[in-house]
Amino acid sequence: MRRLVALFVLALIGATLYGLSGSSSGLIVNHQLLSSRNFLSELNAIENNQTLQCYIYALDPTSYTKGAGGDSIEAKGAATWANLRVEGLAIDQFVTQQLKYHPSTTELTAAKASLESEMSEEATQNSVTCPGTPATALAEMPTEMRTSEIYAQATSLYLVGRVKDTIPLTTASAKSYYTAHQADYDTLCVSVAVVPLANVSAFEASQAAGMSVADLAKKYSEDSSASKGGAYGCYAPSSTYYEGVRSDVTGLALDTFTTKPSEVSDNGSEAALFVAVTKRTVTPFSTAETAVLTDLRNLNATSASALKNDLLYRAAVHVDPAFGLWGLSSSEPSVLVPSKPAKGDVISTKTLTTASVTYK
């Protein structure tokens, strides 16, 4: 949804769980305050509005997990949202104070459209169907929250545009990038072999001896596609599953199973998933455009992440302990959730589910 790193987590949050009043310190970034009252209002909005809740969840469903201590989903969610807000405040201040940029009404309108587009794309990519539109989700936010999110989107887009090596998100730039990386957007036909772990050594020996992809799948795979020589389907860049397929086969020669399989669960037993590309077809830009723009956005985010981390290292940050602890994670400064939150912090645990994403 936001900024230099476009994904964030939903963990359902009960705003009354923490027993706080509006007099607590909230979040402070370089002397700019987001009051506890406003922060709790935002958490309440996420918990109590289904469309807003759904789009936030859709941005990173795989990160929706329980914390280490008891019923710690709510504590994790509060810390995650606090971290997002800290990042936004740090970026806003740098852009407005150091770069002297203040978005115009026209730019804020464009930022709102950009924010809605990102929300929609993430929901589609993660196969999440929400009850309303991204515009509905924004409307469900408290005024202060909605204004902050749109303003932060505008300042983040501006900052990304100022970072060295950033590629403009325009059709012309996308076409140029596509032309230079055309093979990265081929339509991919793949075969798979789901091999019991006990048979992996025999599978690899047969592969080394020159057995074909089709014969390997027929002999060793437990997948229903084995009778078809492992043929699983073809995926264009417009497919929901394209990014995962492309990642699995990057660098593979045609008609060759990967030598580094993924471990999967097959009917309750662990197995190795081998994937092979059996055919590549050039995809026209019109079909690949969305995937190209997503890649450009990710490249820009990667380029900008170093600057974001630098801003966070330099920022003076205070986080109310009820919302998390400001510290150094494995890669960057962030709001951390305590590993063993007090049982009294949480009244109940709520769960949101979504269909698992697999090749289909």
Q: Please say which residue of 250, 281, 312 terminates a domain.
A: 281
In angstroms, the Cα distances linking 286 to 120, 237, 290, 302 are: 19, 10, 8, 25
Q: Is the same domain home to 164 and 223?
A: no
Give me the amino acid identity at 70.
G
Number of domains into which the chain is organized: 2
Model's pTM, two decimal places?
Answer: 0.57
37 part of a folded domain = yes
The answer as to whether 200 is a domain residue is yes
Q: Are 12 and 53 in contact (CB under 8 A)?
A: yes
Same domain (yes/no): 81, 194: no
Most confident residue range from 21-25, 45-49, 166-170, 306-310: 45-49
pLDDT at 141: 95
Query: What pLDDT band is residue 199 in, cutting at 50, 70 and 90?
Result: very high
Cα–Cα dist 38/15, whole Å: 11
Count of Cβ atoms closer than 10 Å to residue 184 Cβ: 16
pLDDT tens-digit readout, 114-143 = 999 989 988 887 888 999 999 999 999 999
Amino acid at 308: K
Distance CA 13, CA 44 (A): 7
CB 131 within 8 A of CB 51: yes
Residue 222 domain-assigned (yes or no): yes
Tell me the DSSP string of 157-221. Answer: HHHHHHSTT----SHHHHHHHHHHTGGGG-EEEEEEEEEEGGGHHHHHHHHHTT--HHHHHHHH-
Domain enclosing residue 263, as ranges? 187-281
> Across the strands, what pairs with 264?
271
More confident residue, 243 or 338: 243
Q: How far is it, in rounded angstroms, from Cα 19 to Cα 101?
A: 38
According to the model, what pLDDT value does residue 164 have? 65
* pLDDT value of residue 14: 40
Residues 62 and 105 grouped into a single domain = yes
| pLDDT band per the 50, 70, 90 thresholds, residue 352 | very low
Question: At which of 230, 246, 281 does a domain end?
Answer: 281
How does DSSP classify residue 140? Answer: T
Residues 34 and 136 in one domain: yes
Same domain, 33 and 150: yes
Stretch among 131-135, 153-157, 160-164, 274-278 having the lowest mean pLDDT: 160-164
317 and 340 assigned to the same domain: yes
**Both 37 and 153 in a single domain?**
yes
Please give the radius of gyration of the chain, using alpha carbons only, rounded to the nearest integer.
23
Q: Band the pLDDT of 217: cuts 50, 70, 90.
A: very high
Residue that wins the pLDDT comparison between 135 and 170: 135
295 and 158 assigned to the same domain: yes
193 plus 265 within the same structural domain: yes
Look at residue 24 in the predicted model and tell me its pLDDT.
58
Residues 62 and 171 in one domain: yes
Of 22 and 241, the one with more pLDDT: 241
Inside any domain, residue 43: yes
DSSP states of 251-309? TPPTT---SSPEEEEETTEEEEEEEEEEEEEPPPHHHHHHHHHHHHHHHHHHHHHHHHH
CATH number of the domain that residue 246 is part of: 3.10.50.40
**Residue 64: which pLDDT band, with cuts at 50, 70 and 90?**
very low
Q: In this structure, is residue 331 part of a structural domain? A: yes
The answer on pLDDT for 156 being more than 80 is: yes
Q: What is the mean pLDDT of the chain?
A: 80
Distance CA 115, CA 87 (A): 16
Write out pLDDT tens, residues 235-249.
999 888 898 889 888
* pLDDT surpasses 50 at 23: no
Q: Are residues 45 and 135 in the same domain?
A: yes
CA angle, 223 then 128 then 354, to 5°: 60
Q: Tell me what pLDDT residue 115 has.
A: 93
Instruction: State the amino acid at position 122 in one-letter form.
Output: E
Say whether both 44 and 153 belong to one domain: yes
* Domain-located, residue 359: no
Longest dimension (CA), the chain: 72
List the 187-196 sheet strands across, edge first: 231-235, 187-196, 269-281, 262-266
